[in-house]
Chains A and B, each alone.
Chain A
């Protein structure tokens, strides 16, 4: 597709007479009144819009507000509405922009990431009929807004925009103007704004990506992973405390859980007194965050619960939604207090101090200086074999608890594979992680469906106890849901053997053997 917009830096101090002389070569222009614009870029905390190759920009010009979604590569507009950016995409006006963004952003909040005040001069090149055949826009960065959403005033920018069906004047302008005015192509304005405050787009991802080297001492490697996890907790703490959206707490909890898993699975590398203490404290942190997360999950599931019901019953779940919302608010208040508590702050601060202090070899176990590959593979291989062993032992008659235990074992293996993925060829390890994820999803669904059915029953009792005169329809709808969840669980149970067979197929076994099986000399190490 041909590009319709080019943006150049106009050198600061470009004289207006020189600019006008060059523009005169193109033809006759109509100048529109200069306007002041406040431009704010929005994205989710994990940059979902940017990862998809776009930017979401809100522009306020007097009383007019325009929100547009543009592709970064060629500045092409993918959608727009004449509204401000709402916190959640569900509150965006119905239409194509809403529909496109909804699948991308899902439950995440749209947060401002950069802001700039601009003076904008618009010029239209006219043909003989006084018809616009080309648009030029000169953007003059004025200042930032006294908040932390931008840096210093930016250089002047010249935007050359084609008018559809009038390609020749556009091609002429985009060749002539840069040559005559010594213009350089401008990069994305958002990047320049963020660079001024020491940031860059996509500077947060919930993915665990820690670069390790195979010969790295295990102590250093673990500290690196744990520091990454601590960073994730710190970055999500404030969003979780303020409940900006439910994913802050989710990512915070995942980092806590990964920390606990690493501390409990890789023993004998960190000083045991430290490991034991923080394990207890992170367990506490996991516990105080679970009630709110559970309620978040049920609130997020409500739309799909509604869809699972016959159309005539879908509105009957409203009292359940009201109940969950009330409970979530209460739990969130408690959570916010706990996350701001001295105990939480002390844990995170002390943990950082420990992770960033030089290793005192005298107080660290001997394993801390062994190569990480050896330590990681020994544990991964052992856990992998247990997953195989326990999975093969599951039969049609096995109790649910056997699948539950296998699920936990798989989770441990998944964490190990993710912690140490950089020690292996990326395409090989990611294929194995994917195979494991398929099995985990099945086991997770089997377990979650039962948990959900039980929770719905508990909610029903609690709602009745709280408000005796609730309409019977809500309990009937919840009953239908519980029944459907149990039916889905039966189907998931039947799917298990196929999923496990795919995970444990000979090719995957051979690959895991090659990836993780320690050499015989390593097996003898303590």
Chain B
């Protein structure tokens, strides 16, 4: 089982769209896949048409009152399940803080799912918090969507620094460009320049596209209704890069 997390300190960068679309592709390729929507905004849960409600809420989950497997919902797609978000996840930091070794709790909760799923994707809320630290402990790799803007680059640098300071040597960080608008000069410059600084970043760029925004209208992954669109093809290419790393054909970093 590989655990990936779509993560960025900054919000609105395409984390949920990436989580949902990559999960759909993993499932389509025959990998039993679970998306855990950790964001109380519940966007991934909305895309999969599932109620944003978890029995016992975040409290029941962290305190181990409910078996994680019993909270999972199948989606419209074979091989693809969802652990929905719950509004109480907004207090997840506090709930984790009640536990001993709080940053290890997510990993502990996910461990029993290893027999059932080949890939788990954690859709993370923005910010850097105790939840984020627990994600860093649980995940094999962070998939970091980066809008080619100055502020987005700054948050990527913050993440890299945090990893180094915390000694998270086993955690791989894979940035990729998201919401790229080639008409903007700044986007062009950053897309050309950043790979020199981060040679291991994924090569695929996800364009800024209305098809991605329309996921909210279709309430479905892009591949299920616009696989041939430019954005659909970009996610497919991104998935190929990720899959090669999951299968060990390419080094993570």
Contact = CB atoms under 8 A, between A and B. Distances in A.
Interface of A: 66, 80-82, 93-96, 124, 129-132, 162-166
A500 to B, nearest CB: 43
A81 B30 contact: yes
Contacts of A96: 118
Interface in B15-33: 28-32
A96 B116 CA distance: 10
A166 B82 CA distance: 12
State the main secondary structure of chain B at its contact with A: loop
Interface of B: 28-32, 48-51, 71-76, 79, 81, 118, 219, 247-248
Contacts of B29: 82
Contact of B74 (A82, A129, A130, A164): A164
Nearest to A133: B74
A130 B49 contact: yes
A131 B49 contact: yes
Contacts of A80: 30, 32, 79
Given A82-B30, A95-B118, A131-B49, A164 B76 contact: no
A461 to B, nearest CB: 40
Contacts of B219: 129-130
A131 B48 CA distance: 8
B30 A165 contact: no
B71 to A, nearest CB: 8
A161 to B, nearest CB: 9
A94 B74 contact: no
Nearest to A131: B49
A20 B72 CA distance: 30
A80 B32 CA distance: 9
A59 to B, nearest CB: 11
A163 B28 CA distance: 17
Contact of A132 (B30, B51, B76): B76
Contacts of B247: 93-95
A30 to B, nearest CB: 9
A165 B73 contact: yes
A131 B72 contact: no
Given A95-B118, A96-B118, A129-B49, A164 B248 contact: no
B70 to A, nearest CB: 8
3 smallest CB-CB distances across A and B, nearest first, come from A165-B73, A164-B74, A163-B74
Contacts of B50: 131
B81 A164 contact: yes
B72 A124 contact: no
26 contacts: A66-B30, A80-B79, A81-B30, A82-B28, A82-B29, A82-B30, A93-B247, A94-B247, A94-B248, A124-B76, A129-B49, A131-B48, A131-B49, A131-B50, A132-B74, A132-B75, A132-B76, A162-B74, A163-B73, A164-B73, A164-B74, A165-B71, A165-B72, A165-B73, A165-B74, A166-B74
A81 B31 CA distance: 7
Contacts of B71: 165
A384 B186 CA distance: 89
A165 B30 CA distance: 20
A130 B248 CA distance: 38
Contacts of A164: 72-74, 81
A387 to B, nearest CB: 46
A15 B219 CA distance: 35
A247 B32 CA distance: 34
Given A80-B79, A132-B76, 8 more contacts: A80-B30, A94-B248, A131-B48, A131-B49, A163-B74, A164-B73, A165-B71, A166-B74
A81 to B, nearest CB: 5
B235 to A, nearest CB: 17
Nearest to B34: A164
Contacts of A131: 48-50, 76
B63 to A, nearest CB: 21
